[in-house]
Each structure stands twice: as structure tokens, then as C-alpha cells.
């Protein structure tokens, strides 16, 4: 398949940078929202407990809050929003660095075969992340 440098940068590299950027932003927002809810709920427990002698129904409210906190924390552990946010951001920035080093012909791209090096390095970064993702999912789903 013949593809020009410009096509590769637009079709493959920019697409991957945008994908990782968007996924990182999304994971960050979800993580921070859920953690914010946990913080607010956790902070409310001592407040409600102080009113339990006067309002017995608050025992149920505090119990429900405890269950909600446990559920949210369990979901955060399963969904790995924090880990994904960090990983996706790291890959996004690594791809951006490769792009800008290539465009400025610096570092490893200060050669005659710089486009070939770009493709090899970018595809290696993407492939490594895909392998890591597959291994993580395989382990979590009971594989070896």
C-alpha cells in the first residue's frame, strides 16, 4: 500500500493522537466525577451520624451512603478510569512528540529515511499499547 507522508500523518498519526486524546479526556472526567461523588458522600457520613439520636431514619441514609461509596469504588476498580486516563494521555503525548520531532527533523528523524523511522516508531507505540490492552483484558477475564 502506497501512502504519502502527509496522508500517513493525517490518516494514521493524527487519528491516533485524537483518539487517545479524547479517550484520556473522557476517562479523566469520569474518574474525577465519580471520585468527587465518593468524597462528598464520605464527608456527609459524620454529619448525618451526628443527627442520628434525633432522627433515627438517618441510620438507613448512612447505610445507603456506605453502600453507594462501596459500589462506586468497586466500579472505579473494575473500569480503571484512572489508569486509562494516565495511559492514554501518555500514549497521546508520545505520539505528539514523535510527530513534532519528525516535522522538525530532530533526533532520530535527522536522517534520509525519516519517514520510514516515523512509521516504524508510531506503529510500534500503537502495537505495544494494543498488546498491553489485550494482555490486561485476558488476565481480567480469567486467561493466563
Residues 6+ apart with CB under 8 A from 103: none
Q: Is the pLDDT of residue 142 over 70?
A: no
Give this prediction's pTM. Answer: 0.82
Give the integer Cα–Cα distance in Å for 121 and 103. 14
pLDDT of residue 129: 78
Query: Model confidence over 7-64: pLDDT tens digits?
Result: 999 999 999 999 999 999 999 999 999 999 999 999 999 999 999 999 999 999 999 9
Q: How many angstroms separate the CA atoms of 2 and 13, rounded?
A: 16
Mean pLDDT of 113-120: 95
To the nearest whole number, what is the mean pLDDT of the chain? 92
104 phi/psi in degrees, rounded to 5: -95, 0
Supply the pLDDT for residue 116: 95
pLDDT for 12 equals 96
Percentage of the chain modeled with pLDDT above 70:
90
Amino acid at each position: 500500500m502506497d501512502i504519502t507522508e502527509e496522508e500517513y500523518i493525517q490518516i494514521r498519526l493524527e487519528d491516533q493522537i485524537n483518539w487517545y486524546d479524547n479517550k484520556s479526556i473522557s476517562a479523566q472526567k469520569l474518574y474525577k466525577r465519580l471520585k468527587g461523588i465518593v468524597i462528598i458522600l464520605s464527608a456527609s457520613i459524620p454529619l448525618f451520624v451526628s443527627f442520628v439520636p434525633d432522627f433515627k431514619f438517618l441510620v438507613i441514609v448512612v447505610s445507603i451512603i456506605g453502600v453507594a461509596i462501596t459500589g462506586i469504588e468497586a466500579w472505579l476498580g473494575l473500569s480503571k478510569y484512572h489508569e486509562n486516563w494516565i495511559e492514554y494521555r501518555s500514549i497521546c503525548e508520545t505520539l505528539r512528540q514523535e510527530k513534532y520531532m519528525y516535522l522538525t527533523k530532530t533526533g532520530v528523524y535527522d536522517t534520509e529515511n525519516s519517514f520510514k523511522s516515523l512509521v516504524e516508531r508510531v506503529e510500534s507505540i500503537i502495537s505495544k499499547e494494543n498488546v498491553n490492552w489485550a494482555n490486561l483484558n485476558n488476565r481480567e477475564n480469567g486467561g493466563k
